Chains A and B, each alone.
With several copies, the nearest count.
Chain A
């Protein structure tokens, strides 16, 4: 019997250790797994490396994790935020490391880790400071830089709905990095606003097959996702 559901965010993040590398889904606040991050703050793990497109907005979620001093290094494309000074303050004080990666290269490196591709060539960033010191190669008369897969110990992501196998669908642009991160972490933890019966998700429209997901945590039941006529008895 496969049942990946965990009782609550605390149970789902309990075993994350100091020094872990953690992927955090979301583009700005869209798709940010806020409740899982809150549980991680409570849990106390520190010295974390966090891979996420941004470095927190406002004062909650990733910004709160950084403010609590738990993040030793950020790997991201856009750590600047109009509404948050948390990362900037720690960065200027030299208390947090930063590996800046072009957004598409960040996405592709995460995908590569999930797909078993250890490295790939890309034209992105050639001739800029972000490609300096990296191996280069020429293909079809175009200079490219070699980029490496980027995996993690844990991925924290947010889905719109899940089933007990861990199949996931997302909501609009909250999808962003989550399907990639799910493939690239040893342990993928998805918070979701609905758990539906097995067979309720259209097999043609599942975005993240359950094989990539280890833990599912229901945060809030959004009635529009529930279809009692299709729910599997006992597994809704």
Chain B
């Protein structure tokens, strides 16, 4: 992962930031890609139940090499395990959990997030691309809190936090919070509100890499390194 600034967090550090904010007992869906890293960063003194939309509540860690089961996979089609207390169900029941508002948090990747909470994460609209949406639109319209985990800018250095999404939308006004390699930013009625900064990163740096106005809503007690709060150091 190309760092946005020298102080930018790496993928695992962002994941720890998210993991720290997931409360004990939460039911959580972690999107394919970067958010998958969050699972291994959840503190051992917290019991968080992971949902994967292909029909498993209580997803456990990947199996040891050689013990993979092709019929026990996650939404990213990677081998997983079933934790004690898990249950299997079909897709309609799985999306009843999502659409019915039973999941507490989902964490998704993003192409763009707008200051009003619009999310674009399923299509670049490119002519030759095969469009594929999966469960993203269901998740953003159903889960109680929608978090985005993403690099602050594209590989080309373009801000992903914008005034208005250019890519096709996944949902309108759906994002609650964004975790990037530079900051934790809430979507508020007033727009983007910085809750925390990565260590050594300044508000001016983040503002310079964001294509929408930023409000400073940092409260001293929450500003800390992702390792500093409830998540244990490794």
Contact = CB atoms under 8 A, between A and B. Distances in A.
| In the complex, A touching B (Cβ < 8 A) | yes
Given A163-B85, A165-B85, A210-B85, A77 B135 contact: yes
B91 A126 contact: no
A224 interface: no
Contacts of B70: 29-30
Interface residues of A, number: 71
B158 interface: no
Contacts of B131: 79, 98, 100
A173 interface: yes
B186 to A, nearest CB: 21
Interface of A: 1-2, 27-31, 53, 57, 77-80, 87-88, 91-92, 98, 100-108, 110-111, 113-117, 122-130, 163-165, 167, 170-180, 183, 198-199, 201, 203-204, 206-207, 209-212, 232
A232 B97 contact: no
B58 A203 contact: yes
Interface stretch (B45-53, B146-154, B194-202, B226-234): B45-53
Nearest to B168: A129
17 contacts: A2-B49, A27-B55, A30-B70, A53-B91, A92-B128, A103-B95, A124-B141, A126-B172, A128-B169, A171-B71, A173-B54, A173-B72, A174-B71, A176-B91, A209-B97, A211-B27, A211-B57
Interface stretch (B11-19, B100-108, B177-185, B203-211): B100-108
B84 interface: yes
B16 to A, nearest CB: 21
A128 B135 contact: no
Contacts of A180: 90-92
Interface in B85-118: 85-103
Interface of B: 24-25, 27, 47, 49, 51-58, 69-74, 77, 82, 84-103, 128, 130-138, 141-142, 168-172
Given A115-B92, A201-B85, A203-B82, 6 more contacts: A103-B134, A104-B98, A107-B94, A123-B99, A177-B90, A209-B97
Contacts of B27: 211
Contact of A103 (B49, B96, B133): B133
Contact of A203 (B86, B97, B130): B86
A2 B84 CA distance: 12
For the complex of A and B, the 10 pairs showing the least CB-CB separation, nearest first, are A104-B95, A116-B99, A104-B138, A199-B84, A127-B172, A115-B96, A206-B87, A107-B91, A80-B132, A174-B71
Nearest to B138: A104
Given A28-B77, A167-B85, A103 B168 contact: no
Nearest to B100: A116
B84 A79 contact: no
A124 B99 contact: yes
A98 B71 CA distance: 27
Given A80-B132, A116-B142, A180-B92, A125 B137 contact: yes
Contacts of B24: 1-2
B171 to A, nearest CB: 7
